[in-house]
Amino acid sequence: MKLLSIRGKRVAKKPVNLTLVGTALSVVFSLAITSCTVAAWEKSTGEHWSDKLIWNQNKVTIEQPVLVQIEEPEHVMTDAETLAVGIYTVIRGHNVTDTAAIMVGEVILNRVNSTMFPSTICDVLMQPYQFGELDKGFSWEKIAKTSNKDSVLAYEAAQTVITGSDLLPDDVLYVSETTQGTETVALLNGLYFCR
């Protein structure tokens, strides 16, 4: 019995019926039709399809590889996209100006910078009874698909706020359709901006 090396592995070479080899090869070539799937399986398992050939008493069989579905990584929202979600939840359905949308974004960032609130945009938006759309499954990808004027305005306002805007004092921490806090600093498009 001779030894044969297949992909660095030494295996015993046994006499094989050519009909069986032809059948095995046709199965292998039919797998090659889905080469992307096989390549993905090989990458995920670190194995090669030829490792699945089993030599057993003049018979060649192919062990069926388990195909693994490789999913694309979930999109992680940028700060601008996360801020746009918060702005969108406040302005959607209202007829607000660019200035009002930017001011909503500033209130969110004022909260991030305040010791009274969480220190990330996402955590501020996830607080109960505040900008709670993220916990309802909202994401910028879902909102952006709507491509309505509110989503466009929200994203543009978020970009402006992230790059630096200064319409409100840093201690303005509330935005609502009613007064909140201790003092109303501005009322614009039906939105109260309060300390």
pLDDT at site 73:
61
Q: How far apart are CA 86 and CA 128, in angstroms?
A: 13
Confidence of residue 107 (pLDDT cuts 50, 70, 90): very high
- State the average pLDDT over residues 113-127: 91
Distance of CA 171 to the CA centre of its chain: 33
Residue 6 pLDDT more than 60? Answer: no
pLDDT at site 130:
80
- Helix, strand, coil tally for the chain in percent (to 5): 45, 15, 40
In the beta sheet, which residues pair with residue 187?
192
User: Residues near 22 by Cβ (< 8 Å), separated by ≥ 6?
Assistant: none
pLDDT at site 187:
95
pLDDT per position as a tens digit, 9-45: 454 444 444 444 444 444 444 444 344 444 554 555 6
- In the DSSP assignment, the letter for residue 179 is -
Q: How far apart are CA 157 and CA 134, in angstroms?
A: 18
Residue 99 pLDDT more than 90? Answer: yes
pLDDT per position as a tens digit, 46-98: 666 555 555 555 555 555 555 556 566 666 778 898 899 899 989 988 899 99
pLDDT at site 48:
61
- Share of residues in the chain with pLDDT > 70 (%): 56
